[in-house]
């Protein structure tokens, strides 16, 4: 009887440990999400993370973060993804102080969203308007291409992940319009959701134009590569469209070096 009582006690203790660890993980998750303060602008949900140790006498770049289809909605929560967690890392915030603007939509990204995002940025103090960056994954990668084509002069650099400028129901993205914008695109070569061939067409045209585009292909990866472009990964092969491309291999160092 004592043996079984001891066994039951050990099982109960193990259960408590699991619950405590789960709660700890949940608390950590919520703590980084809380760094992105919720707001709404013209009925568009948005979260904004401000620079660490904000100094009003400094000018700060802005990263626009576009979610994919998995973040669609109006709850102002689902748009925060793995790369938003990575950007919330304290050391990264110290090394690369900036605003991160993460809007949310329940439809494909379009010109109306871009105008609302611009107005949000206008409300932020001490922004460096020569260093507005945009990135996104999947639908957000496509949105990155769309936004940069709509107003290429607004952005200093762009980073679409697992997206492309091609959709069956929309016109082909014209690389001529964005050939001078520093772009670093990322794609898994086994992507079955947004096939890499679409992104490859854009890159090949940028090569023909002598554009400023880097293209990292994740060898053997499918669509779920959104956690790789910031830290990098060993299975990435990077190609350049011309000698104009910045050869910096670290993504955030590359991004923050770009300015209009």
pLDDT in tens, 1-25: 454 444 444 444 443 333 333 333 3
Mean pLDDT of 165-190: 81
212-235: average pLDDT: 97
50-84 residue pLDDT tens: 999 999 999 999 999 999 999 999 999 999 999 99
Spatial separation of the C-alpha atoms in residues 158 and 114, rounded to whole Å: 14
pLDDT of residue 173: 76
For 67-124, strand residue ranges (E) read 99-103
Q: How far apart are CA 218 and CA 122, in angstroms?
A: 36
Q: Which residue has the tokens 């043996």?
A: 3
The answer to whether 207 and 215 are in contact (CB under 8 A) is no
pLDDT of 116 over the 60 cut = yes
> What pLDDT, on the 0 to 100 scale, is given for residue 198?
86
> Which tokens is 145 given?
């291409």
Question: Angle CA(130)–CA(99)–CA(142) in degrees, nearest 5?
Answer: 75
**Which span out of 3-7, 166-170, 192-196 was modeled with the highest average pLDDT?**
192-196
Q: Judging by beta carbons within 10 Å of its beta carbon (0-12, 13-18, 19+), is residue 42 exposed, middle or buried?
A: exposed
């Amino acid at each position: 009887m004592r043996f079984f009582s001891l066994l039951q006690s050990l099982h109960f203790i193990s259960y408590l440990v699991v619950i405590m660890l789960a709660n700890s993980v949940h608390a950590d998750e919520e703590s980084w999400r809380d760094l992105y303060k919720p707001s709404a602008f013209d009925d568009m949900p948005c979260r904004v993370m401000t620079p660490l140790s904000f100094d009003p006498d400094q000018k700060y770049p802005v990263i626009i973060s576009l979610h994919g289809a998995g973040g669609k909605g109006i709850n102002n929560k689902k748009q925060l993804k793995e790369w938003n967690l990575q950007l919330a890392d304290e050391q990264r915030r110290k090394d690369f102080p900036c605003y991160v603007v993460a809007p949310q939509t329940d439809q494909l990204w379009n010109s109306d969203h871009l105008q609302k995002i611009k107005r949000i940025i206008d409300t932020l103090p001490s922004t460096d308007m020569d260093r507005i960056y945009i990135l996104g994954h999947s639908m957000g990668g496509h949105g990155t291409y769309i936004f940069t084509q709509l107003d290429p002069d607004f952005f200093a650099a762009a980073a679409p992940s697992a997206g492309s400028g091609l959709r069956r129901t929309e016109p082909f993205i014209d690389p001529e319009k964005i050939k001078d914008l520093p772009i670093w695109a990322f794609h898994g070569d086994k992507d079955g959701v947004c096939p890499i061939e679409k992104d490859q067409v854009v890159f090949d045209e940028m090569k023909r134009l002598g554009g400023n585009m880097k293209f990292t292909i994740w060898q053997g990866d499918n669509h779920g590569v959104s956690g790789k472009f910031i830290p990098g990964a060993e299975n990435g092969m990077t190609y350049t469209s011309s000698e104009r491309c910045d050869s910096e291999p670290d993504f955030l160092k590359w991004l923050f070096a770009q300015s209009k």
